[in-house]
Amino acid sequence: MRQKELRIALVCYGGVSLAVYMHGVTKEIWKLARASRAFHAAQREEVTGVEAVYLSMLQRIERERDLRLRVLPDIITGASAGGINAVFLAQAVHSGRSLEPLTKLWLETADVEQLVHPEARPWSPAARVYMRPIVWYLTRAPGNTVSETVAADMPESRIAERLAAIQDAHPHTLIGSYPRATDGRFTTQIVVRSRDEALLRAAVREVAEAVAEISG
């Protein structure tokens, strides 16, 4: 019977909202790796839930393709909040520890109500449900939001603290930073959004000044 290794290289991008759902991806990769470990164990380990589904898939590949497939997360890296996902997954692969503590962390500290400015938080938990159609309209209807991007020729870590201060000073805007890496060079795209163009311009001006000052 043939044997083959599927080696996975995983890059987790930064950005808290991205990191939250990418954590779900890393958990699935971890469960697949655990199922593969059980599949190749000398004494078959008992697995449950999603891991049992992955184990069944590996067994089916063995029966139908005459192939024993081993899945190995080989290279794991990440930027900013995505780096947290990468570190936890690497530790889980190495030590066998659970990823549930990270799930708890993201659910408690990365909830949208924790991320938005206090003035923008809903007045009641019920507002989450009843306000969804209104929020959908306000954020997607043409002309209701304006945005502008500022390019920063630096890693996100160099400007993160200044962006947080600017965000606090402009509660009616949303400032997002998105790190990029090209040919070993790290840059950051900073996107400022607002429903008021004047407020947007004021925030963008401060962001641009901060970028120029730090770039020096």
Confidence class for position 5, pLDDT limits 50, 70, 90: very high
57 with 144: CB under 8 angstroms? no
Give pLDDT, residue 79.
Answer: 86
Between 135 and 76, where is the model more confident?
76
Tens digit of each residue's pLDDT (9 = 90 or more) over 35-80: 999 999 977 778 889 999 999 999 999 999 999 999 999 999 998 8
Confidence class for position 116, pLDDT limits 50, 70, 90: low
Between 1 and 10, where is the model more confident?
10
Give pLDDT, residue 122.
Answer: 57
Mean pLDDT for all residues in the chain: 85
Residues in the chain: 216
CA–CA gap between residue 147 and residue 201 (Å, rounded): 9
Give pLDDT, residue 39.
Answer: 93
Burial 103-136 (b: 16+ CB within 10 A, else e): eeebeeeeeeeeeeeeeeeeeeeeeeeeeeeeee
Q: Between helices 16-40 and 81-95, what is the axis angle to 10°?
A: 10
Question: What ranges in 144-196 are assigned the alpha helix state H?
Answer: 156-169
Tens digit of each residue's pLDDT (9 = 90 or more) over 121-134: 555 555 555 555 55
- The mean pLDDT value for 143-171 works out to 89
Tens digit of each residue's pLDDT (9 = 90 or more) over 168-208: 999 888 898 888 888 888 899 999 988 888 999 999 999 99
